[in-house]
Amino acid sequence: MTKQPITAEDLTKLVYVEDPRISPDGRWIAYVQMTVDRFDNGYKRNIWLAATEGGDPLQLTRGGKDSSPRWSPDSRTLAFVSGRDEKPQIYLLRIGEPGGEARALTSMLNGASSPAWSPDGTQIAFLAGMNADGRAKEDRGEEDPKPADKLDAKQRKERREQDETKRWDPRVVWRIPYRSGTSYLSDHFAQIYVMPTSESAEKPKPRRLTNVDADHNQPEWTPDGAYILTARMGNPEGDEPWRWSNLYRIRVEDGAHEQLTDESHSSFAPIVSPDGEWIAFARLPRERLSERITRLAVMPSAGGEIRDLNVDLDRAVYTFLWTPDSQGLLFTAASWGDIELYHARLDGSPVDKVISGTLHIEQFDVHEQAGIAYTASTPANPSELFWRASSVDAAAQMTHINEKFLEGVTTQETHELRWTAPGGDEIQGWYMLPVGYEEGKQYPLALNIHGGPHVMWGPAMKSMWHEWQFHAARGYIVLYCNPRGADGYGEGFQMALHGSWGPVAMDDIMAGVDALIAKGFVDTERMAVTGGSYGGYMTAWIVAHSDRFRAAAAQRGVYNLLGFTGTTDIPSFIPTEFGPEPWEDPMFLWQNSPLAHAHRIKTPLLLIHSENDFRVPISEGEQLFSYVRRSGGTTRLVRFPREGHELTRTGEPEHRISSLIHIIEWFDRYCRGE
């Protein structure tokens, strides 16, 4: 077979696996398979089963909007969330019954999510949005009469939608944030409900356990079934819930709740040990919160001292689960470009690695006797499911969903590069040579800069795999790195950007460009730079302070720290990262904004921004476009309707492809004369 270079349109051929869940009997792994739906310009998610003993995986659902598979304790039923009937609801599917159909467990007015089985399998806890008026109506036991027929149901639905639209016209806001993602926030806060799972002639009703104007986290049962753990904002009247999250224990019998953590940290994602003696959770110190590594904390269920298990390791915890013996936790953490699986014990012994290598482990599940299932990306493959049985040391690849695609395209190997920055720190980066590379020739460079700024990139980065391979396929040497501020190198490294996003990272990045140039294959007259979010900030900062690049593409970037603070859904982010509030030292923040130096940008600058980006509003891109244009620079602004901050990762497939093409054609125009 003749292999072809990767194209922008190949994005639609990649398949991803998500959310692996091992059945309690250890026989099956349920997981979600995500594909691009070219016809509808969207994505499909269906649930599949892989036998732990091997064999071809089986497709379990075909609704196209199915996710969050969760096994019943007896392994006979799978709960999952499906949006097949507009609002997402929880469905139950019996496993092993020929021709079995999934039945809807919930019919919540605003949808349901996050199912969690009770230990005895007789109930499911879940989240559903409901505002104060709706909760009061539930408490009074009021129910709307059943529709007389389909026409009546249709008219009621249209009336509810119209009433909801009118309720927010005009929109009155009273807290921050009031919009996020690509939409405005409503007052339908996620509450915790429990519901019987048994079938009966009269459908059972859900019972609500919470009544707070705050969104609750995923519910987690205690092993005795008496309590549910969750996390939510401590002060419902406050702003920025993610900064002020506390743990709560809720009694299932009557909904009585108890706060478990104090205000010194933002705490979230609690899980109980199998023996019920311990609670593990993630937390962040509230001081300089966004710059800190996430702690893996444990506390006795009965109350007592809280301990952080990963501080000595000096790496942030991502996902975590208890070991079956309740004596420790497995967790993923980023380190030197890789995301690996670690084991931390309660006895205080050193943390050790369980699964390691050049890979990014995204999600995992553990079984008491059978083994560990996990999804991971590698430099050669953006997503597959793996299984490491307890009886073996090596993991087996359970899916081969991208194999056929990879057999038909040319992919480039990733090479590590390390250098010493002017500040003395060792910086890690990677480069890829272009398709068709010939030794002795020089090629244009495409420098990629990550966002965050506290993100870690590596050669197995799933979200960038296709984009980097595409740049290499179009004839560019690809360079990316983790300058100071990145995760994966310790908290001190991560906090080194404080008060100086631009100069510190620019020194590290440009030292890497020089280290690559020293290898002799970069054409220094044909270099381009791009990045998104903080990477967009750095792209604009670099071309405002250097004329070494022939083209630049800044995506969804923060360019005016003063304006950004008043329009983003994370308004305390910049004061945390830089120190002062905007009114305390506006000139300091202005001088650290690329916009203040935009009049010096003479590198042709392409700006990519989404019109519904509520993390970094499009006004950021509009300002930079205007400043560069009016000061005599060469620039173009590409606006993507309907999209938010995640345009290049989860946006409409056609928009993602368009973004790739706009950027590469901009590079080609100024670096290749095309």
Residue 648 lies in a domain: yes
Q: Assess whether pLDDT exceeds 80 at residue 615.
A: yes
Residue 318 banded pLDDT, cuts 50, 70, 90:
very high
Kindly report the average pLDDT of the chain as a whole number.
Answer: 95
With beta carbons less than 8 A apart as the criterion, state whether 154 and 92 touch.
no
The pLDDT > 70 percentage for the chain reads 99
C-beta separation of 619 from 566 below 8 A: no
Could you tell me if residue 502 is left (phi over 0), alpha (psi between -120 and 50 degrees) or otherwise beta?
Answer: alpha
Using only C-alpha atoms, the chain has a radius of gyration, in whole angstroms, of: 26
Q: Is residue 657 a part of any domain in this protein?
A: yes
40 CB-near residues (< 8 Å, 6+ apart) = none
What CATH code is carried by the domain that includes residue 609?
A: 3.40.50.1820
Element (H, E) at 162: helix 150-167
- Range with lowest mean pLDDT among 95-104, 260-269, 403-412, 566-575: 95-104
Q: How confident is the model at residue 611 (pLDDT cuts 50, 70, 90)?
A: very high
pLDDT of residue 200: 76
pLDDT at position 542, please? 98
- C-beta of residue 373 within 8 angstroms of C-beta of residue 475: no
Active site residues: 533, 645
Q: Average pLDDT for residues 640-651, to the nearest whole number?
A: 96
Rounded to whole angstroms, how far apart are CA atoms 78 and 100? 12
Q: What are phi and psi of 472, to 5 degrees?
A: -65, -35
pLDDT of residue 201: 64
Inside any domain, residue 424: yes
Non-local CB neighbours of 320 within 8 Å, separated by 6+ positions: 269, 271, 280, 282, 296, 329, 330, 331, 332
Give the mean model confidence (pLDDT) for residues 638-653.
96
Identify the bridge partners of residue 296 per DSSP, sorted by sequence position.
282
Share of the chain above pLDDT 90, in %: 90
Torsion-angle region of 275 (φ positive above 0: left; ψ -120 to 50: alpha; else: beta): alpha
Compute how many other C-beta atoms are within 10 angstroms of the C-beta atom of residue 521.
18
Place of tokens 């990014």: 360
Per-residue model confidence (pLDDT) at position 98: 57
Confidence of residue 3 (pLDDT cuts 50, 70, 90): very high
Query: pLDDT tens across 480-514, in order?
Result: 999 999 999 999 999 999 999 999 999 999 999 99
Residue 386 lies inside a defined structural domain of this protein: no
Query: Which residues are within 8 A (CB) of 274 and not within 5 positions of it... i.e. 6 or more apart?
Result: 223, 322, 324, 325, 326
Q: How far apart are CA 407 and CA 402, in angstroms?
A: 9
Domain extent, residue 448, equals 413-566+598-672
Cα distances from 542 to residues 147, 443, 539, 639, in angstroms, run 62, 21, 5, 23
Q: Is residue 482 part of a domain?
A: yes
Q: Residue 297 forms beta bridges with which residues?
A: 281, 308
Whether residue 553 lies inside any domain: the answer is yes
In a domain, 450, yes or no: yes
Which residues, 6+ apart, have CB-to-CB distance to 345 below 8 Å? 327, 328
386-431 pLDDT tens trace: 999 987 888 999 999 999 999 999 999 999 999 999 989 999 999 9
- Give the Cα separation of 215 and 244 in Å (integer): 12
For helices 462-473 and 653-667, what crossing angle results, to 10°?
Answer: 40
Residue 40 burial (CB < 10 Å; 0-12/13-18/19+)?
Answer: exposed
Please count the structural domains in the chain: 1
125-172: pLDDT as tens digits: 999 999 999 999 999 988 888 888 888 888 888 888 898 889 999 999
Task: Render pLDDT for 36-61 as a digit per residue (tens, 0 to 9).
Answer: 999 999 999 999 999 999 999 999 99
3-state secondary structure of 6: coil
Q: Is the pLDDT of residue 100 over 80?
A: no
Ramachandran angles phi, psi of 163, nearest 5°: -65, -40
Residue 610 lies in a domain: yes
